[in-house]
Amino acid sequence: MDAANALADLTEISSQVEAAVVFDDTGAVVASTLDDAEHSARLARAALDLLGAADKRFESGGQALTQLEAALREGSVFVAREEGRSIVATTTPEPTSGLVFYDLKTCLRALAEPKSEAKAPRPKRRSAKAKADA
Amino acid sequence: MRRLLALLLLVGGPVLYLWRRRDERRERVQLYYDDGSMVTLERGASGAEQLLAVARSAL
């Protein structure tokens, strides 16, 4: 699945997500729900800064940080990363964290799927008439 | 009138205090690691302010 479709699915299923940006390890934006490219880049940069600061300050015995949530009165910022790709999302205040993380991870996994698998055409079912003719 | 004012202060003060504390507690950062462990940093904890400031800039 391509990144734009994955993000479209995400915003469709998760009403709490206001904006989401997929970015790579360097902070380059892969896809975004925002029309404003500058805003997308700023969100990706902030997410990268969050991951970097959290990695640096809160090392957990060699364990890798996979996701984080920063909850503020105005809303929350979620970041999840998997296999070189990360996603950041902003939400309304007091979101259902578990659900948002689940949706973000689903989005990242959809991106990791090979395109041929996602777009594979379904085999056509033969009609009873066609079977009888054969 | 004085009694009413005193009653308002008596009830309103603690309510306002608790409301503000609830708001402060709401601001936190949660970090999740690949082994399933999780760290919660409440507002005011060491390092939390820096992360909250970055998050605020994203919103």
A66:B32 CB<8 A: yes
Could you tell me the pTM of the whole model? Answer: 0.75
A68: nearest CA partner in chain B: B31
Residue A111: what pLDDT?
83
Is pLDDT of A121 > 70?
Answer: no
State the DSSP string of chain A: --HHHHHHHHHHH-TTEEEEEEEETT--EEEES-S-HHHHHHHHHHHHHHHHHHHHH--BTTBPEEEEEEE-SS-EEEEEEETTEEEEEEE-SS--HHHHHHHHHHHHHHHHS-HHHHTPPPPPPPPHHHHHH-
B51:A43 CB<8 A: no
By Cβ distance, the residue of B26, B31, B54 closest to A49 is B54
Residue A57: what pLDDT?
73
Count of helices and strands (H, E) across chain B: 2, 2
CATH number for the domain including A24? Answer: 3.30.450.30
Residue-wise pLDDT for A89-101, tens only, equals: 999 998 999 999 9
Measured between CA atoms, how close is A34 to chain B, in angstroms?
Answer: 13
A38 belongs to a structural domain:
yes
pLDDT-wise least confident of A16-25, A34-43, A96-105, B19-28: B19-28
A44 belongs to a structural domain:
yes
Residue-wise pLDDT for B13-37, tens only, equals: 888 877 776 666 579 999 999 888 8
By Cβ distance, the residue of B23, B33, B58 closest to A77 is B58
Is ipTM beyond 0.90?
no
Domain total for chain A? 1
Residue A113: what pLDDT?
74
Residue B46: what pLDDT?
80
Identify the domain containing residue A107 by its residue range: 3-58+65-117
